[in-house]
A and B are shown apart, each in its own frame.
Chain A
């Protein structure tokens, strides 16, 4: 990835620059900047293309043989039945079994990647992830209450999920509220997040201590993070939250660029740093709580997807937000595909596989990249 930069951005000092400018041509740095803009757009489009390609390939994996062309035909036949035909069994397997899980992976990865990206920016902390604010700890606590004590906010099919959602949201709103009273600096938020994280983890452990074997198993399974819980009904709910939250986050892309330069600078350029921080935190907490309550802990994606994107396209959030989302989706769906097929028919939970596959890949990028400041 560094080769991109060495090829394109070696803006040499050149006395010809001023002559070129007088002749109405662009100077070397201007040309380099144009190329950089092109690369950013090209990269985002490229990874979207890769996502579509991988979706087709992953659909083919499984006991029933489906070719790549058949998988695309099956997907498109729903929308244009006149142009794409596929046999009924393939269509059923694709639409009812294989594609929902992939779509779940894409949505979860996309949401977590975006949240990681915006949280790292407002907390000015490369270690920040959607879980810094104790969202997982809160959700885990909610699950524990439902499993062990049997108390839940919602009944029926949402008995456990509802609890996870509200506890996660409550936990992050508590932290944000605390920081808002004391001054919403990034340090306050991170410290409060870590402290509350410990508290809720301890509370969950306390409940675990009194739990029966069956209750323990339920709690542990959720903690591993699994896409199996994802269904078409869930995806609609998730889609609504996406449609509300992601445009809200995107409207702040300029402010996020400025926030990474520090509160003093942000204020002097006209950005209300503390309000922006609270706004971003509230919106992304809502998004993460929704994802986490359905799919459990899939922590790694939110942390690394923004770093991967930053390595290639730099820190402009107009491009960084979508790129982080798409990269998060790519990592999650690929890891899940490996987990599904590595020792089939046993399915390894997504959360475990994401870290096992993702960490070595991330380490490789870390060692390869020369721009060491990403991890300072």
Chain B
């Protein structure tokens, strides 16, 4: 099997708590992989550790067998791009300039027409060209998310990391953003790894799902093998019914599982 990205023994924690406990996984090229898990399971931290936004205390990340943890930030940015959950702008910046930031790993001091062409290309790809001169802060949540994805795309990295790209979005925009991610994974042949809360979205769009609990991977594989009643019960402590819809498992949460209290 070809391996695009490999995480080896990723360890991260604060003084008293362990957030990531020797996480290991491998991902094949041009796949959409989703990391799911309850709050505090470490999925967002894992995404940030892969991109060294928070530095892991141990372990290494290999992309095409090259260790990106040993690279400078600028070199690493050519391999990995990152889409934050949201972005607050203190000073006004228009959409074009926001996306142009993503060209930094490739840009000279003055910037060239080539960089600007790339930005227009991506603006058209995501159908947000008309927003180019709008102020980023004045956009809706869905539009902002698209701009952040566009910025990661102009970075031209082969692996894109996304931290809960659909949180704060209504269902129409959730689908819109997920469709965009699925399309760019196919068209640009990149690998996307995202942390996601919504299990049904994860199941519907992902090629592979990684399920985490307390900083460890408890299940990984295609949606059918991960989204099971047993896994949902043990990881989320929720009793759920799983139905198959267009060949994807769909989950209907029924009730919480509470441990019997000892009186």
Contact = CB atoms under 8 A, between A and B. Distances in A.
A376 interface: yes
B97 A316 contact: yes
Given A120-B91, A267-B51, A315 B84 contact: no
Interface string A350-376: 000000000000000000000101101
A270 B129 contact: no
A264 B130 contact: no
A269 interface: yes
Interface string B125-141: 00001111111010000
A264 B45 CA distance: 12
Interface string A309-330: 0100011101000000000000
A52 interface: no
A17 B88 CA distance: 31
A269 B104 contact: yes
B91 A268 contact: no
A261 B98 contact: yes
Contacts of A318: 110-111
A248 to B, nearest CB: 13
Nearest to A371: B92
B124 to A, nearest CB: 8
Contacts of B218: none
Nearest to B136: A261
B128 to A, nearest CB: 10
A124 interface: yes
Contacts of B48: 264
Given A9-B133, A32-B132, A269-B101, A261 B92 contact: no
Interface in B89-126: 89-94, 96-98, 101-102, 104-105, 107, 109-111, 120, 123
Contact of B132 (A33, A257, A376): A33
Interface stretch (B21-29, B59-67, B75-83, B236-244): B75-83
Interface residues of A, number: 44
**B51, B94, B120, B133 interface centre (most CB from chain A within 10 Å):** B133
Nearest to A13: B130
B34 interface: no
B257 interface: no
Nearest to A307: B91
B52 interface: yes
A37 to B, nearest CB: 9
B88 to A, nearest CB: 7
B155 interface: yes
Nearest to A120: B91
Contacts of B97: 257, 314-316
A29 B87 contact: no
Contacts of A262: 84, 87-88
21 contacts: A11-B134, A14-B130, A29-B123, A30-B120, A33-B96, A36-B94, A120-B91, A124-B90, A253-B109, A254-B104, A254-B109, A257-B97, A265-B82, A265-B84, A268-B51, A270-B74, A270-B104, A318-B110, A371-B135, A373-B92, A373-B135
Interface of B: 48, 51-53, 72-78, 80-82, 84, 87-94, 96-98, 101-102, 104-105, 107, 109-111, 120, 123, 129-135, 137, 151, 155, 161
Given A11-B134, A373-B89, 15 more contacts: A28-B130, A29-B123, A30-B132, A121-B91, A254-B104, A257-B97, A258-B104, A265-B84, A265-B101, A267-B52, A267-B53, A268-B161, A270-B78, A270-B105, A271-B74
